[in-house]
Each structure stands twice: as C-alpha cells, then as structure tokens.
Structure 1
Amino acid sequence: MATLEGFRDKEFLDQITILNEISGSKDPENLPGLVELLKSPVGDTSIDYMVVNALNAVLSQSESETVAGMADKHPGYRILCIRVAGEYGFASATPTLVKIADSETDPDRLMEVLTSLARISDPGALPIFRKYLEHEDSFISALCIEALGKLRDLSSVSYLKAIIDDSEASDKYEVCDITTWKAVEALAAFDTEDTLAFLVEKLHHKNPTVRRIITDAMTDIGSPVIPLLLAAFEAGDTDMRILTANVLGFIGDKACADGLVAAFDKGLAKDSNVRYALYEALGRVGTMKGIICLVDGLGEEDELTLMAVIGGLEKHVNPGIVAKLTTLVQSASDQGDRIAKAVISSGATNLFDALYENAGAGDGLIAALEQSNDPEIIEEFRNLLLEIGGSRAENDLARLPQPEAASRKALAADDSRSMCAMHKAILTDLEFEPFVAPNGQEAYELIEQGEEFEIIITDMNMPVMDGLELVGKVRNTPGYEDVPIIMVTTESEASQQTLATKTGVTAFITKPFKPEQLKEKINELLA
C-alpha cells in the first residue's frame, strides 16, 4: 500500500510513474490500493485506464484474489476479475464462473463469463457450454460451439452436424452464419473419422463460403483426411471430383498425388474440368508419378487445360521434361504451336530458358511470343532474352512487338495460376490493362486502392474470400453498382446461379470455355 500512499495528491507524471512501476513489479501488496482507485476513480481518463492495466497485471499473479473478486459487489471489479481469470487460464475459477453463467440473464455479461471459460478450457465447463448451445444470441451459441470443439465434446457431434445440415435448407443456404462456420471448425477439431467423413461429404455445400471454410479446415488437417478425399473423388460427381482434387493439391502430400494419378489410370478424369483440376493439383505436389502424368498431359488440346499442365511442369523442370517439350515445340505441328503458346501465356520462364537452348524450339517460342499483346509478358521474356544474351537472342529481341498502353482496365480473380494467365491473355487481346488476383480479398484491395475497372471476372470458389463475397463487397462500393461482373463456373454449379445473381453477378460463363466465348461475353456486356 505504501507505493500508492497519497496517490491522489501527487502530480500527473508521478502518478503515471507509480502505476508503470506497479505494472512491472506486479506486487500483490498494491492490490487493495488499486481496487480502491478502481472503485473510486481519480477522474482523469488516462490515469483511470492505467489503474485498470496495473490491476490486471497484479491480479495475474494472484489467482485466489482474482477468484474472490468475481463475487465482489462492484460490477467493474467483478468483470475485470472474470476477464483476468480467462486471460491467464486460472483453472480454479471454473466452478465460480460456471455458477455465475448458470444464472446470468444479461447476454453481454454472459458472453464475458463464457469467453473466460472458453479460454480456461476446463472440461468442468462442458455442461454450461451445452446449456447455451441454442442461445438466441448467435454469438453466444457460436462461442459455445467453438469451446465444445476445443474440448472435444463428442456428445455434441450430432448437434453440430445438424447445424450444418440445416444450413443447406432452401431458406438458409444463401448466408453462412457464424454458428455454421463454428460448427465446421468444431467438427474439424474433433479429428475423428466420423466427423472428417461428414465434412468431406459437405465439401460441396450449397453456400460457397461454407465450402471455403471446409476446404481450409481439411487443408489444415492434412494427412488424416487424404483417404476420405480420395474415396469421395472416386465415388463423387463432377463437382465433388473437382473440389476434392483442389483440396488434395492444397494438402500437397505424396499420397495425394499417387491417389490422383490412380484416378487417371481408372478413367475417372474424362471430364475436362476434372482433368484441369487434377493437373493443377499434381503441379502443386510435384511427385515423380505426378510429373509423368503431367508430361502425358502435353497431349491436351484444350487451351486452358494445357496451360494447367505447363504451369505444373514449370515448377519441376528436369531434363526429361525439357527433352519431351523440345521435341513437341520444334515439331512444326498444331500441338507444338499450342504448347509454345501455353508456355508464353503462362509466363513459364523456367521452361522457356531451358527450351530456348534448342534453336528449333526457341523459334517456336519466339513465334508464340510475337503473337502476345500482354506488355507484362513481353517485358518478362524480353528481360530473360537479355540475360541469355548472344546473337540469336539479340535477333529475337528485335522481333518482339511493342504493344501500346491500354486505356481501360479490367480485373480478374481466380486462385488458379493458369486461369489467371488465360484471363490476362484474353483481356490484353481486348486492349484492356489486366489486373489479376489469386482471391477475392486481394482483388477487392485493388478496388480499395482506387483502381477503376470497366469489367470484373471472378471465380466462384476461392480461398480467403470467395467470389460471392467479393461480388457483394463490390456492389456495395460507390461507383461499382453497375460495373459488369462475370462469374466463371463449372456446368454443375448452375444451381448456384440464382444465389450469385441475387448477390450482383451480371453474367456467367461455364467451364470449359474457349477464349473467344469469354471475349464475346465481355464485348456483349460492354456494347
């Protein structure tokens, strides 16, 4: 108490010094004086705030005093003790907190108590979390769901599954509420075969945001979910195969690649969208079997699918890949031309560098580069040719076009590198300056930075922020109420078009599509 003796009569700077010293020492002897200052403030906002901080520091070293303070008549001190108990994980506070929560009727105070109990994470609090699972305040319910997941309360599994099932009802699926979000994360936290199998089953949830949350959860879980994903791929429809392939690619385990290659061998990738997803996933993993499968994919004629193959090989360049590509590119065949164009459009500088050593292959690549209208692509390969040097490179540099600067801008968002490359090529052909982003969040940041786009193209399923969330934010941004937005979907995602249209999507284009189809759609919307 001596430290705080005469505190109210001291100068402002002296008071600050004293409180800082107490916060550093955390000496319990100062507790009575600090409690008195809390209950009867000095009246200066800065000092009163520092008193709370000092009291928090002292209570952190006094578990018994903190627990006792939760029964204090002063509401401010009582709440502070409740918060400190949670912040520092005081397990002995659990019975008192449970008793308080059991009779608390004010939602705000109840939230404070439950938050502390969740932080302490004592199984003794399980009954109280179960009690408030169905609370009318969704944030309280969500907190209880999260706590039950953390405590692995298997008795709540059926209830959590019911939340997710119910969220697909015709009057609910348009919005991902916080309880659904937390139910997914809680089931993932249980990490049992039953709960993981349920989440895999829900991977194609009607709501894109829920799909993203499930995808993120399974990616974090990793190896335990791989067999379930591979089984779902084999038994699933086109959408399920695309989504499971994406997750397996994100996990990036050797077992993922082996399973996807086996799917190819079983003839389960006849759909072009499925093959595209598999090639993208194999490129992320990079096993020997996967690379062999990608090399086999060099026979693909669809432009986008071939770009996915090239994008995967670009990450794993080796002599065998280079030899195969060299033979194809210098063959003066239609497929050789397609491959050369894919190397250029994908910005595959590693492959270009390796292939250019062969004059025939180099000529094929330069011919494809001459057809590009993308200033960034041309500049990227121009710099590479300068690094390579030599008379042949100098002659090829002279052949490169000098594209004019575009006067209008367009934005494309997609988590697929090859799809972004495709969008860039299409938009530059239409004389746009293209801006691309790997997810909705980064796309929207460009808008927040003041970029003005005449048209926006977005995928539906993306990490971090999905297409629908992006569209919703764009439509609520002044000046973007009427900007055309094209959403890229797979054919079976047509059931989601009503939801997307309500959100603000102007038009759709279905995968697989030819570049000319997207160009026609853009010209139609901007006519």
Structure 2
Amino acid sequence: MATLDDFRNKEFLDQITILNEISGSKDPDTLPDLVELLKAPVGDTSIDYMVVNALNAVLSGNENKVIEGLTDDHDGYRILCIRVAGEHAFSHAAGPLMDIAKAEKDADRLMEVLTSLARIAAPETTPVFRTHLQHEDPFIKSSCIEALGKLEDIDSIDSFKTLIVESEAPDRYEICDITTWKAVEALATFSREDTIQFLVEKLHHKNPTVRRIITDALTSIGAPTIPALFKTFESGGTDDKILCANVLGFVGDRSGADGLVAAFDKGMAEDLNVRYAVYEALGRIGTMKGIICLVDGLQEEDELILMAVIGGLEKHVNPGMVSTLTKLIDKGDDQGAKLAKAVISSKATTIFKALYEDEKAGKALINALNTSKDSDIIDEFRNLLKEIGTDRAQADIDTLPVVFSGLRKALAADDSRSMCAMHRAILTDLEFSPYIAGNGEEAYDYVEQGEIFDIVITDMNMPVMDGMELVSKLRNTPGYENIPIIMVTTESEASQQNMAEKAGVTTFVTKPFKPETLKEKILEVLS
C-alpha cells in the first residue's frame, strides 16, 4: 500500500504524521502523489503547507525531477521547482533557468528565476544577469548586480561605477536606493586596484548612507585599501582626509598607522577636525609610532582633541606614557588641569589607576572628579578608588559629591568614544540625564524601549545606522515629531545640511567645537 493512499480521507493527526515521515525519508516514490496534492490542495492551510514542505524535501534529492518541473503547466509547482533548484544549487538546472529568464515577462517570476540562478552561481549565467542589469524593477536590477559581483564579472565593473556616479545626480543623491548599495558591495568583491581607488574617491559621496556603505565595504577589504586611502588623504580636502583616517582606523593595519604618523609629520593634519580623526585612528590601531604621536598630542589645547588623545592612550597604557602624563599634570598649570579633566571625562580608568600612584597627579584627578556632575562617572571612579584600597583612596572617596541624575533626559549618538564622553560631560553639566549610543541603531533602541527625550544630539556619519536615517526614523515616531534634534557634523557642503533639514534636524554644530558652543545651542533650541 502506497504511503499517500486515501490520504484525503485520513484524520488530521494521521495526515501530519505521514507528511512528517515523508519529509524525513525523502521517499521519491511519494513524488507523484505529493504533486497531485499540491495541484489539488486538501483545503486545510496547515496540511497544504506541510505538503509543500514534504515536496520540497523529496525534490531536494532529485535534480532530474526538479528540471522536469521547471516547465510544468502548474504555476505553483513550477515556482517550487525553480526555488528548489536554487536552494540546492542544482548546476544542471542553470541552462533551463536561463532559457526561462530570457522569455519571462512577469517581474515576480523573473525575480524567482534570477534568485535561483544567483544561488547556482554558474559562470555561464553572466549574460542573463547582464541582460537585466538595466531592468526597470530596482529589485531585479539589484539582484543582477549582486550576482555579477559574486561571479566577479569584470565586464560589469564600468556599469557598477556608472550607477554610483549617477546616484549623486542633483535629483537622486538624497536617497540611497538599493541598486547603489548593491553596486558598492559588488565593486568591493573585486578588490582590484581600480575598483578600490574608485570607492575611495567616492568615500565622500553626497549621500551619508552611501558613505557608510562605502566605509563598511573598504573596511571589509582591509589592508589592500591603504595605498588608495593615502593617495586620497594626501590630495583630498578636509572631509576626504577625515573619512580616509576613519577607514584606516577601522582597518587597523600597522602600515596605516605609520602612514598617518608620516602625514602628521608632513603637516597634513593642521585642521583640527583632521587631527581629531587621526588621533582616533591611531588609538584604534595602537602601533609604537602611533602611541608616540598620541603622547605628543598631550600638548594639544582643544578639549575635544585631548579627549581623543586620552581615549586612544587608554587602550595602550605603558610606563613611558604614564611618566610623561604624570609630569604634565604635576605642573599644576592650565594644561595639566585640562589633561586631568580629560582623563575623568573619558572614563580612562586604566590611566587613572596608573597616575593615582603619584600623589600630586592623584590630587589633580580627584579635583577634576569633584567638579563632575555625572553620577555614572563619579560612581565609576568611586568603585575604582575602593579597589585601590589605600588610606589616601578612602580619604578621597569621602570628598566625592553625591550627584543625582537630572530630571530631563537627553540622547546622544556618535561612533567616537571621545565625542560620546564630551556629550556626557556637557549634558550632565546642564543637569540632563544622558543616554549615550555608538550609532543610530543603538540610539533608536532606547526610543523603542519607550524612553522619551527632551533633546537628541547625533553625529551625521556613523556605522550601522547614520544620523540622517536616525533623524528620519525619529520624526516618524509618535512623540518625536517636534523634539529638538541637533546634528554634529564636519560636513562642509551646504547640500548635506539641506538634506538634514529636510529629514528633520533642528540645528547644527560643526566639529570641533568648544563645550560652551554646544551648551548654548542646546539652551537655544529648548528655549
């Protein structure tokens, strides 16, 4: 007796048991009856769904039957065979699928065929993807771009470049469409000198989301991007230098750090924004030359840049650095006070512990800590002093103020550790309770958890979710339609601010800035 005999008349639980057994055994003898059940469904949604699963399992071990099914008269069975061919990468199905793709006019069915061909990834399929590279449907077009990238089709490189160039047109750059995104990722798969150089040159794309995608692509390529990054760093403007330094930091290769130090020595980092980006990158990489450059940076006067220097050194504490920093703080001058404040604001606990051994430096650090209005920072260092456990540490604990969280809440998003520390310091000084995020997605998580903020501060360029996308999501979230949003940016092009204003940004602050500048801006928008 066949497994599926009299199936329609069996009890519900028996039907489920039979179909589960077929899915496990993949018995090819059940194929004709399963096909019949697909074409003439039982009528119970659960059973009909399990029939498809069982049929999928049986077809997964029968390439010939799948190829036969590609031309079946029944639309549902034909689509199932198309999907199974791709899911299991049946190479002999490539030819029949290519024939279907050439004749198919329905966009949805064409998408199914192209998706399966992309999964099969046979070199002979490239002409089909090239043919549909200019398709009016963006999803079909992006599917072809992605497939040609995986197939490393060199003849498509110029088409990908053209798509990215055209995406900066005046009527298009405000939106990052899926085809631009896929064109960037496709170019990144080649890792050729010309494709890398092109992506680096487009690193300062007019659209911030495209910039993020290009940054991620170059970071994933890694060390091969370094020559092109330095070529653009040396010849480009301020924004190009900043973005190149950021990528070099993300790549984390020693040669990148050495090149940044050399560029620094040549006077290519005179701009404060560039210097800030270089220090952050050197802190991420952590070579000996980079650390020496960071130690030299302890002479910087700008508070934000000092925090970038301290943040970088926190990851690479060594006796020489500690000795130099101790001497600078022990001078008791204005610079020493700035350095002590930077250690506290940056939560540089490793540096603090090393400096605290020197009584004079320790006193300067405690003085800086006592001026903080950030309850989290005070608690962090209170616990550290308890861990140190000396009589002096206990005496210093007794001097620490009790600080209560502000009644107003503020959200700040930035991928820079030092910038986040600066935001914390500014917001707590204004008696806000600060919520800090490393990117737009982390920031929006707070909102999804039900937090309501009195003000939002965001960087424009961030990984995962950039500031522009965060602003758009906030403005479409109930309760956030009119909350003030300040965007902190290094952007020099007016078009970037125009885009941000359209997205819903209230006002802007340009890096680098004095804490007082942002404080004034916060008070201004809240008034």
1:149 and 2:146 aligned: no
Counterpart Cα distance in 1 of 2:391 and 2:143: 68
Q: Percent identity?
A: 70
Q: Deviations over 1:136-177 (max 9, x none)?
A: 111111111111111111111111111111111111110001
Counterpart Cα distance in 2 of 1:319 and 1:11: 78
Counterpart Cα distance in 2 of 1:112 and 1:30: 26
Aligned residue-pair number: 527
| Deviation at residue 9 of structure 1 after TM alignment | 2.1
Q: Please name the residue that 1:90 is paired with.
A: 90
Q: Which SS does the other structure have where 1:8 is aligned? A: helix
| Deviation at residue 331 of structure 1 after TM alignment | 1.5
Q: Deviations over 1:495-514 (max 9, x none)?
A: 41111111110000111110
* Structure 1 residue runs of 4 or more that deviate by more than 2 Å after TM superposition: none
Counterpart Cα distance in 1 of 2:329 and 2:364: 6
User: What TM-score do you get using the length of structure 1 for normalisation?
Assistant: 0.99
1:312 and 2:312 aligned: yes
Q: Which SS does the other structure have where 1:492 is aligned? A: coil
The amino acid that maps onto 1:520 is: E
Counterpart Cα distance in 1 of 2:495 and 2:6: 73
Counterpart Cα distance in 2 of 1:191 and 1:205: 19
| Deviation at residue 40 of structure 1 after TM alignment | 1.4
Counterpart Cα distance in 1 of 2:494 and 2:383: 43
Q: Please name the residue that 1:244 is paired with.
A: 244
The worse-fitting range, judged by mean Cα deviation, of 376-385 and 322-331 is 322-331
Q: Please name the residue that 2:475 is paired with.
A: 475
Counterpart Cα distance in 2 of 1:516 and 1:494: 24
Q: Please name the residue that 2:378 is paired with.
A: 378
User: What TM-score do you get using the length of structure 2 for normalisation?
Assistant: 0.99
Q: Deviations over 1:423-444 (max 9, x none)?
A: 0000000000000100001101
Counterpart Cα distance in 2 of 1:296 and 1:226: 24
Q: Please name the residue that 2:63 is paired with.
A: 63
| Deviation at residue 6 of structure 1 after TM alignment | 2.2
Counterpart Cα distance in 2 of 1:22 and 1:273: 65
Cα gap change, 1:36/1:491 in structure 2, threshold over 3 Å: closer, same or farther? closer
The worse-fitting range, judged by mean Cα deviation, of 212-221 and 328-337 is 328-337
Q: Deviations over 1:44-87 (max 9, x none)?
A: 11111111001111111001110111111111110000000000
Counterpart Cα distance in 1 of 2:336 and 2:322: 13
Q: Deviations over 1:66-109 (max 9, x none)?
A: 01111111111100000000000011101111111111111111
Q: Please name the residue that 2:3 is paired with.
A: 3
| Deviation at residue 362 of structure 1 after TM alignment | 0.5
Cα gap change, 1:440/1:491 in structure 2, threshold over 3 Å: closer, same or farther? closer
Cα gap change, 1:153/1:491 in structure 2, threshold over 3 Å: closer, same or farther? closer
| Deviation at residue 320 of structure 1 after TM alignment | 1.1
Give ranges in structure 1 of 5+ residues lacking alignment: none
Q: Please name the residue that 1:437 is paired with.
A: 437
| Deviation at residue 493 of structure 1 after TM alignment | 4.2
Q: Please name the residue that 2:322 is paired with.
A: 322
| Deviation at residue 491 of structure 1 after TM alignment | 5.2
Q: Deviations over 1:385-433 (max 9, x none)?
A: 1111121011101111111231100000000000000000000000000
Q: Please name the residue that 1:299 is paired with.
A: 299
Q: How does 1:336-485 map to 2 (within 5 A)?
A: 336-485=336-485
Cα gap change, 1:493/1:401 in structure 2, threshold over 3 Å: closer, same or farther? farther
Q: How does 1:28-427 map to 2 (within 5 A)?
A: 28-427=28-427
Counterpart Cα distance in 2 of 1:72 and 1:491: 57
Counterpart Cα distance in 2 of 1:354 and 1:416: 24
Counterpart Cα distance in 1 of 2:226 and 2:171: 33
Q: Which SS does the other structure have where 1:199 is aligned? A: helix
Q: Deviations over 1:171-217 (max 9, x none)?
A: 11100011111111111112111111100000000000000000000
| Deviation at residue 461 of structure 1 after TM alignment | 0.2
1:522 and 2:522 aligned: yes
Counterpart Cα distance in 2 of 1:26 and 1:301: 72
Counterpart Cα distance in 2 of 1:497 and 1:314: 34
Counterpart Cα distance in 2 of 1:232 and 1:31: 61
1:486 and 2:486 aligned: yes
Counterpart Cα distance in 1 of 2:28 and 2:380: 65
